[in-house]
Amino acid sequence: MPAVKCSVDGCSRKLQPVEKLDPRDRESWVYRECDVCFRPVCEQHSTEVEGRIVCDRCRREKGMGLELIPLEIKLRS
């Protein structure tokens, strides 16, 4: 079975299993994945938003997690 790699922005970092249900059966190993698109993702390319792991790709597409603060700029006349 090939190594599981991060799938965000061309990252090729190999992922370590989060949990091994049966150490001899690689099909049962659980890897970190995005809770929106369910693709494998490394810690560098993911953040936790409202208790869910969201990859950078989904966060950009959905506009999640980054809220801008409205700034009022007053110009002198």
Confidence at 64, pLDDT banded by 50, 70, 90: low
pLDDT at 1: 62
The CATH architecture annotation of domain 1-65 reads Ribbon (2.10)
Domain positions in the chain are: 1-65
Site of tokens 């490394």: 42
Pick the closest to residue 57 from 9, 14, 4 (CA basis).
9
pLDDT value at residue 2: 75
What is the distance between the alpha carbons of residues 7 and 55, in angstroms, rounded to a whole number? 9
Give residue-wise pLDDT tens across range 5-58.
998 888 889 999 999 999 999 889 999 999 999 999 999 999 888 888 999 998
Report CA dihedral (56, 57, 63, 68) to the nearest 10 degrees: 40
